[in-house]
Amino acid sequence: MNYLPNVLFLIALILGIVYFTKNVKKLVRNIKLGQDVDVSNNKKQRWKNMAMIALGQSKMVRRPIAGLLHVIVYIGFIIINIEVLEIIIDGLFGTHRIGLKVLPKPVYGFLIGSFEVLAVLVFLAVIVFWIRRNILKLQRFWKNEMTSWPKNDANYILYFEMVLMSLFLIMNATDSHFQSLNSGNIISQFIAPLFNGASENTLHIIERGAWWFHILGILIFLNYLYFSKHLHILLAFPNTFYASLKPLGQFNNLESVTKEVKMMMDPNVDPFAAPAEGAEAPAKFGASDVQDLNWVQLLNAYTCTECGRCTSECPANITGKKLSPRKIMMDTRDRLEEVGKNIETNKGTFKDDGKQLLDNYITREELWACTSCNACVEACPVSINPLSIILEMRRFLVMEQSAAPIELNTMMTNIENNGAPWPYNQMDRLNWKDE
Amino acid sequence: MSELLNVPTMADFMAQGKQPEVLFWVGCAGSFDDRAKKITKAFVKLLNKAQVEFAVLGTEESCTGDPAKRAGNEFLFQMQAVTNIEVMNAYEIKKIVTACPHCFNTIKNEYPELGGNYEVMHHTQFLKTLLDEGRLTIEGGNFNGKRITFHDPCYLGRANNVYEAPRDLIKKLEAELIEMKNCKINGLCCGAGGAQMFKDAEKGDKEVNIERTEQALEVKPDIIAAGCPFCNTMMTDGIKAKEKEGHVTVMDIAELIANAQDL
């Protein structure tokens, strides 16, 4: 018996899994660069959110066309992957369609039949996706941040899926034994006649070729994820789990500031006291780089699949401002990747590269254009919160750099002096009663 | 008119050793902005009519800190919050109503962690309760058959999931409630939130309030109803810019109800 194919298969499988694990470790390391944040509360609601939003796609279908197409691809992806199980067993043990041996023929036929139908539906859905992106040119796919890699990445994923689905169907169509069973070849029976003239041997070669390219394609695709927006197929689950459960309007109160305010209000504190020996340095307020953000925000960045629903709902973006919530997420991810690579080249420690998220990636103009309306947060199908990053960066600008736009400084001075954003005396607050 | 308004302060109640049913948090816009003051008065008229024992803080009220917080000045926000909480806790306040969604959101969501725990209602929710309890009645009157569209304030709608109270009130006016293409969770901002009210917009090809006004005008309303003093300003400016002042008016829900009864 010739074990070469089994060995080759095992090597490919191990390579694919090892390389993928290596990248997942990188991903986890990068996400852990973020600040700690307590997300241990209300597990029940968190599981429910994950079940509804990620597993149940509840927010995807708010846009019915894209939502329906996505559900097809999503279900197809999950269910067709059951077939991968068979491929792996066959590959490792040199069996052929092990499912036929362990399952009753009608059950096996039903399974493969469903996979075939789904494969065609996925293929068609992906074609429509491609048309929406490249022919209809839906606006949200053609914003400023969607050039070069992000644009190509999206199309590569679509091509990948088209090829994988085709290979699966061709594999079934050229499997003469499977065709002769006449069970489960619901789609492939119509493809089989295309190969009518071919000899048994040729058919077998095509079938084996399709089988090999299919499984190798899947392994390559698995490893493509880390470099792609397509990571969302994995990260959507933790991301919806760890997303904030608070009302969208509730912004976090900075504890470090609470400490300072309490100290200011406490008459017993000695204002001239030197900090105690070994006391921790005062916390940095807000964020100027990715390490200042919390790890959920960094997870958000890796989860973003650049669909642009946030940007298409953003009032600032709609009216032509530079701000795009999607770009905030992409910039955060790209900078985080850069920081991660920096750590790798410097043997585990980050060496200042003279760059940061603020200014080198996200400009002040973008940050100040936000109305904090939460449209982006509401629009995101996987519970990403671009607004929280914008707020953290504004905090850095205002509290660390005093770099607010001048009109906002006036507003804040008014609040400090007279308890209102306008220069009216607090003693006049009830004058309206008698006007 | 002004002599009709009964606006006791918390200090007045304290002097008599009494507690009001609810504190009316007027807010900076409601106190100082000429347009918003009208909303404040309309709401007070309704409170008086329904014989609600309410009080205001008057000169003891100060900015909640909302615009400072959204601008990134957490320090100033917490200073304001702690001061306000100290005042309100000293008066042992339990329940607050406000006509400003920004004050509503801040006091309701961001004050508890800093020691301020109150039941907070938006004035549309409060008016709805008054109606449900039969303490206030509305007759369609002036608005019978008028086309009214409601502009969702971000800090009431998306931020706190209050969509129905203002709409229920409009329906009670026997007016025709019509929805803009972007409404409720998809509502488009007026452009004032996140401290934008106090600065010029960044460079773009349009002002946000113009975009929103155009959406409102698409459904051909007689009245654009608002539930936020800042939205009110932005939409009123939008209507002026579109030269539609003669045809479309922007009114707060409290004003609609007060007007319906010729208060």
Measured in angstroms, the CA of B63 and the nearest CA of chain A are apart by: 5
Distances (CA, A) of A25 to A30, A225, A228: 9, 13, 16
The pLDDT > 90 percentage for chain B reads: 91
The predicted structure's pLDDT at residue A270 = 78
Fold topology of B137-260: Rossmann fold (3.40.50)
The predicted structure's pLDDT at residue B140 = 63
Q: Find out if CATH 3.40.50 is the number for domain A255-267+282-426.
A: no
Compare CB distances from A251 to B32, B69, B186 and report the shortest one's residue: B69
* C-beta atoms of B74 and A253 within 8 A: yes
Contacts of A393 in chain B (CB under 8 A): 72
Average pLDDT over residues B190-215: 95
Q: Is the pLDDT of residue A51 over 50?
A: yes
Q: Is the pLDDT of residue A68 over 90?
A: yes
The predicted structure's pLDDT at residue B3 = 52
Average pLDDT over residues B228-234: 97
Q: How confident is the model at residue B2 (pLDDT cuts 50, 70, 90)?
A: very low
Per DSSP, the residues of A69-97 read: HHHHHHHHHHHHHHHHHHHHHHHHHT-S-
24-63 in chain A: CB under 8 A from chain B: none
Token duo for residue A402: 């005093």
SS3 state of residue A132: helix
Contacts of B207 in chain A (CB under 8 A): 319
Token duo for residue B151: 């502009």
Return the exposure string of A83-95: e unless at least 16 CB atoms fall within 10 Å of the residue's CB, then b: beebbeebbeeee
Q: Find out if CATH 3.40.50 is the number for domain B2-129.
A: yes
Q: For residue A141, which of A326, A362, A387, A389 has the smallest C-alpha distance?
A: A326
Measured in angstroms, the CA of B242 and the nearest CA of chain A are apart by: 16
Per DSSP, the residues of B62-97 read: ---SHHHHHHT-HHHHHHHHHHHHHHHHHTT--EEE
Cβ neighbours, 10 Å, residue A60: 22
Cα B220 to Cα B158: distance, rounded to the nearest angstrom: 25
Q: Is the pLDDT of residue B119 over 60?
A: yes
103-162 in chain B: CB under 8 A from chain A: 105, 109-110, 113-114, 154-155, 158-161
* Residues A310-332 pLDDT 10s: 999 999 999 999 999 999 999 99
Contacts of B73 in chain A (CB under 8 A): 395, 398-399, 404, 412
Q: Comparing A5 with A369, which gets the higher pLDDT? A: A369
Beta bridge partners of B121: B97
Q: What mean pLDDT is reported for chain A?
A: 93
* C-beta atoms of B199 and A395 within 8 A: no
CA-only gyration radius of chain A, Å: 28
Answer yes or no: are the C-beta atoms of B255 and B42 closer than 8 Å.
Answer: yes
* Residues A351-360 pLDDT 10s: 999 999 999 9
SS3 state of residue A429: coil
Q: Comparing B33 with A101, which gets the higher pLDDT? A: B33
Token duo for residue A118: 């789904």
Q: Which amino acid is at B93?
A: I
Composition of chain A by helix, strand, coil, percent to 5: 70, 0, 30
The predicted structure's pLDDT at residue B1 = 45
Distances (CA, A) of A113 to A118, A356, B186: 9, 53, 40
* C-beta atoms of B199 and A368 within 8 A: yes
* Residues B64-98 pLDDT 10s: 999 999 999 999 999 999 999 999 999 999 999 99
Q: How confident is the model at residue B167 (pLDDT cuts 50, 70, 90)?
A: very high
Cα A358 to Cα A368: distance, rounded to the nearest angstrom: 12
Compare CB distances from B110 to A251, A391, A433 and report the shortest one's residue: A251
Cα A395 to Cα A251: distance, rounded to the nearest angstrom: 12
The predicted structure's pLDDT at residue B162 = 97
Q: How confident is the model at residue B260 (pLDDT cuts 50, 70, 90)?
A: confident
* Residues A256-303 pLDDT 10s: 899 888 888 888 877 777 777 776 777 899 999 999 999 999 999 999
218-247 in chain A: CB under 8 A from chain B: 246-247
Geometric angle at alpha carbon A387, from A381 and A389, rounded to 5°: 110
Beta bridge partners of A17: none
Range of weakest confidence among A57-61, A119-123, A278-282? A278-282
Sign of CA dihedral A70, B188, B154, A421: positive
Domain ranges for chain A, please list them. Answer: 4-31+63-242, 255-267+282-426
Q: What is the DSSP letter of A137?
A: -
* C-beta atoms of B113 and A391 within 8 A: no
Contacts of A398 in chain B (CB under 8 A): 71-73
> Which ipTM did the prediction report?
0.94
Chain A residue nearest residue B105, CA to CA: A249
Q: Helix A4-31 crosses helix A295-303 at what angle (to 10 degrees)?
A: 140
Q: What mean pLDDT is reported for chain B?
A: 94
Geometric angle at alpha carbon B87, from B85 and B92, rounded to 5°: 85
Residue intervals in chain B for CATH 3.40.50: 2-129, 137-260
pTM above 0.90, yes or no: yes
